[in-house]
Amino acid sequence: MRRSAIIAGVACLSLALVGCSSTTNEAGSGGSDKDVQIVSWWAQGSEKAGLDALEKIFNKEKPECHFVNAAVAGGAGSQAKQKLQADLDAGNPPDSFQAHAGAELSDYISAGQIEDVSPLYDKFKLRDVFPETLIDRLTVDGKIYSIPSNIHRANVVWYNPKVLEEAGLPTDTLPDSVPAWIADMEKIKASGKIPITLGSNWTQTQLLESVLIADLGPDAYNGLWDGKTAWDSTEVTKALEDFQKIVKLAQIDSSADWEPTLDYVMNGKAAYNVMGDWAVAAFNEAKKVDGVDYKWAPVPGSKGVFDFLADSFTKPKGLKNAKCAEEWLDVIGSAAGQGEFNKIKGSIPARTDVDMSEFPAYQQAAAQDFKQDTIVASLSHGAAAPLAVSSAINDAVVKFTQGQGDDLAGFQKDLVNATKSLK
Ligand code: GAL
């Protein structure tokens, strides 16, 4: 091994807490006028493959710019967001960074850290190619602060049909309610397999939001974010009781990111994993066959509801290379960029004019659902609530699961406190 590689490896080790990718070194290398530094959390595995596709198109279409990958590993931005916040607060922004469309952007907007990019919507002719509902979610006081690259769905269960079969369960459809699904989990447990796996805080919150959507229905779920549904109501208590039952049946590894917990389903040790549809990219990368090695369905009880989130890219104030940052945003919003990226990433294009015929079957179905389902905003992926609220909910969830899911009343009280700032 070359000495520089060894040194980089040591630096990576010491940076382990904030994540590290081989290219973070490139980001710190001083750079040239062409460099455009892009922060995301697509640092490894199937997620990096998606970013690589974007980089390839960017390099080809914008030869006057040089993509510098400043990705920070950690699913759902669990590490990237902290590092980014420190850089923004220190007045050292990247040229563009990944952020969830919706409520999570409000943190950066109110801190005055990102620019209104609505002039770019006109320049790149984006207003007519994104769904109106998405533009509405992105618009704050008439301004738009990011350009979406994709749309993901969070309320999906990925399951291993062989494990269900061994437990004597049907494999073509899942039950249509959470209680019936829990009954199936009991059967799986009795067959000697793990019913469901959970990982770090946000994966647990993602399960919680899916159960809330399924049990409350989309209207009452939406009400959780604008004060119309009380967090201390009995309907929420009922949903939390279901969540509690699942937690008690789950194998939980709070230190694991999403891919290792999905692996249990892939290798036939567990039946179910609730995960956003970036999971399909991991199955594809492992060469698993949809419908044979794995199947998927909306979380039981939430059929017809699409728990939406979108990744988007921003133009930070005080960035170094405005010209190439705009070129990057041009590629992010373009039909070619969205086509190549989303095929690999498991998501669907945010644009409505991308040809879906060459997309894998999963995304074709997701695109169809997105058109006809009721759309709700994901909590764990920044669409429903500001970062301070989702972080406080994460803390409440982990406290509950670390206490073996025993203190339901305490959990509900913590959730009430976590969401106090919402109108
Ligand atoms: C989400 C993000 C997805 C995917 C996932 C896992 O927050 O929107 O694109 O990266 O995290 O890391």
**What is the phi/psi pair of residue 163, to 5°?**
-65, -40
Q: pLDDT averaged over consecutive 10-residue blocks of the chain (423 residues)? A: 33 36 41 91 95 97 97 97 96 97 93 97 96 90 97 98 98 98 98 98 98 98 97 98 98 97 98 98 97 98 98 98 98 97 98 96 98 97 96 98 97 98 85
Q: Give the pLDDT score at 289.
A: 97
Closest C-alpha among 367, 388, 378 to residue 111? 388
The Cα angle at residue 100 between residues 99 and 104, in degrees rounded to 5: 95
b/e 178-211 (16+ beta carbons within 10 angstroms → b)? beebbebbebbeebebbbbbbbbbbbbbbbbbbb
Ligand 1, from 47, 203, 205, 338: best to mutate by most atoms within 8 Å of Cβ?
47
Q: Identify the residue whose C-alpha is closest to ligand 1 atom 4.
A: 76
H helix runs in 253-386, sequence order:
258-266, 279-285, 322-333, 335-345, 361-372
The residue to which tokens 């770090």 are assigned? 200
Considering only CA atoms, which residue is closest to atom 3 of ligand 1? 76
Contact (CB, 8 A) for 72 and 21: yes
pLDDT recorded at residue 271: 99
State which H helix or E strand residue 8 sits in: helix 3-14
- Tell me how far apart the alpha carbons of residues 281 and 344 are, in angstroms, rounded to a whole number: 6
Contact yes or no for 40/78 (Cβ under 8 A): no
DSSP letter for each residue of 385-396: S-HHHHHHHHHH
Q: Is 152 in the pocket of ligand 1 (CB under 6 A)?
A: yes
For position 251, what pLDDT does the model report?
98
Give this prediction's pTM: 0.92
Q: How many CB atoms lie within 10 A of CB 5?
A: 10
Name the DSSP letter for residue 29: S
* Backbone dihedral angles phi then psi of residue 139, each to the nearest 5 degrees: -90, 130
Alpha-carbon span 188 to 177, nearest angstrom: 17
Ligand 1, atom 1: closest residue by C-alpha: 76
Could you give the C-alpha distances from 145 to 88, 148, 309, 362, in angstroms and in order? 16, 10, 16, 30
Closest C-alpha among 390, 372, 3 to residue 201: 390
Burial class for 303, CB neighbours closer than 10 Å (0-12, 13-18, 19+): middle
| Structural element, H or E, at residue 5 | helix 3-14
Pocket test for ligand 1, best of 155, 205, 278 (most atoms within 8 A of CB): 278
State which ligand 1 atom lies nearest to the alpha carbon of 345.
Answer: 9
Assign 82 to helix, strand or coil.
Answer: helix
In this predicted structure, what is the pLDDT of residue 133?
87
Q: Which atom of ligand 1 is nearest to the CA of 309?
A: 8
Which of 345, 381, 394 has most ligand 1 atoms within 8 Å of CB, for mutation? 381
Nearest residue to 50 via CA among 371, 286, 380, 338 = 338
